[in-house]
Amino acid sequence: MQRITPKLRHSLSLIPNFCEARAILTLAFAMALVASVLTLATVAASDEPLKRWFLIMLYLQWIGFCGAATLCWARRWLRYARPGVVFFVCWGLLVVIVMVIANFAYRGSLWLGLDFATADETRLAFIARHTMIAAIVALLMLRYFWVRHQWTMQVQAEGEARYQALNARIRPHFLFNALNSLAALIQVRPDEAEMMVEDLSDLFRASLEKGQPIARLVEEIGLCHAYLRIEKLRLGDKLVVEWDIPEEVLDWTLPKLILQPLIENAVHHGISKLAGHGVVRIAARDIFGRLVIEVSNPMPPSTESHRLGNRVAVDNIAQRLKLIYGEGARLELGRDLRLEGGVFRARLVLPRTAMPEPAQTGTGA
């Protein structure tokens, strides 16, 4: 049995995906720029530079579109090929395509009486010259894509390592708090402590998973419910939770265990320090194509411990958001002193992301 490694699955990232309209439009624009450069380089030898630019651009666009269509078709056959195989197959296909189009361009220019191919150059010389140019340009272009591919793989590996390290940093913090809650119940209410252990197992399973870093909001809410059941056993009526999550946002995706630490901070640094009961409110909305999640809790009499206690989890969440979304997501913290006693709010603003496909596996003899 042979498992397909991530390196093989990502070999196609070596070249742009010419099955997408964006890549084709970029290629067409690049070919138009190249045609302009070639026209300016030979403008002194041509009486009609605009006509020559049009012929060169038409020639290059045919090469570009035919090459893009061929590479798009070849993706299915190169899906699991090694990067070196992808490199040389793509290079060979591009050279053959230029050879064929150069042949048709030479015959067409002579038949139509165009000055694209000079009469004193034989067809074989014309094809050979253009094929050699294509071979050199394609080699340089694919070399650039190769270097960019290696750099991308390195950045992804470093990002994954940093992400796992950030996940590992938050686990002890959560573990100590959970075990303290369990120790307070195990002698006085053993039946409820047993239920608490089951909820803890669900939370630890999610925390220790090393699969995809993205999950649906409904799954994260399930983990938060398990955590809040644990705290409800410890705090009793002192903890009140209000959920305001409309059904239309439940399928949104977000980083795993990104919401639970915010609720944990609201409980441990807010509710648990109050003399009476307090309300943790969790709300989510789709605002202009972004998921906005807000966790609020009443502030204890002294806000200094709340601010310092939040720092580890907040810094962790901010770094994880930057690794996954770049500058596309943010975490906002603030105090609302207009309400009696003051309210502390943590707000997540996340862009819409697609759920990543599960890793594929393959078998072989």
Average pLDDT over all residues of the chain: 75
3-state secondary structure of 37: helix
pLDDT for position 240? 92
pLDDT for position 284? 94
Q: Which residue has the higher pLDDT, 148 or 278?
A: 278
CA–CA separation, 290 and 50 (whole Å): 47
Range picked from 102-111, 289-298, 299-308, 313-322 for highest mean pLDDT: 289-298
Percent of the chain with pLDDT over 90: 10
The predicted-structure confidence for 85-101, as pLDDT tens digits, reads as follows 877 888 888 889 988 88
Q: Is the pLDDT of residue 70 over 90?
A: no
CA–CA separation, 82 and 84 (whole Å): 5
pLDDT band at 67 (very low <50, low <70, confident <90, very high): confident
pLDDT for position 302? 64
Q: Which residue has the higher pLDDT, 48 or 32?
A: 32
3-state secondary structure of 326: coil
Q: Which residue has the higher pLDDT, 285 or 43?
A: 285
pLDDT for position 68? 85
Compute how many other C-beta atoms are within 10 angstroms of the C-beta atom of residue 252.
Answer: 20
With vertex at residue 355, the alpha carbon angle to CA 353 and CA 361, rounded to the nearest 5 degrees, is: 140
CB of 323 closer than 8 Å to CB of 243 = no
Q: Which residue has the higher pLDDT, 109 or 285?
A: 285
* 215 φ/ψ angles, rounded to the nearest 5 degrees: -140, 165
Across 197-224, average pLDDT: 74
Q: Is the pLDDT of residue 7 over 80?
A: no
pLDDT band at 295 (very low <50, low <70, confident <90, very high): very high
Which H helix or E strand runs over 281?
strand 278-287
pLDDT for position 138? 83
Residues 6+ apart with CB under 8 A from 183: none
pLDDT band at 339 (very low <50, low <70, confident <90, very high): low
pLDDT band at 5 (very low <50, low <70, confident <90, very high): very low
Tokens at residue 28, please?
């067409």
pLDDT for position 292? 93
The predicted-structure confidence for 230-257, as pLDDT tens digits, reads as follows 778 777 889 999 999 999 999 898 888 7
CA–CA separation, 202 and 200 (whole Å): 5
CA–CA separation, 188 and 114 (whole Å): 96
CA–CA separation, 39 and 46 (whole Å): 9
Tokens at residue 204, please?
């630890």
Tokens at residue 205, please?
């399973």
Across 116-144, average pLDDT: 80
Cα torsion through 52, 55, 60, 61, rounded to 10? 130
Q: Is the pLDDT of residue 306 over 50?
A: no
Compute how many other C-beta atoms are within 10 angstroms of the C-beta atom of residue 283.
Answer: 15
Q: Is the pLDDT of residue 4 over 50?
A: no
CA–CA separation, 257 and 211 (whole Å): 13
pLDDT band at 178 (very low <50, low <70, confident <90, very high): low
Q: Is the pLDDT of residue 12 over 50?
A: yes
Across 52-69, average pLDDT: 85
Q: Is the pLDDT of residue 308 over 50?
A: no
pLDDT for position 149? 67
pLDDT band at 2 (very low <50, low <70, confident <90, very high): very low
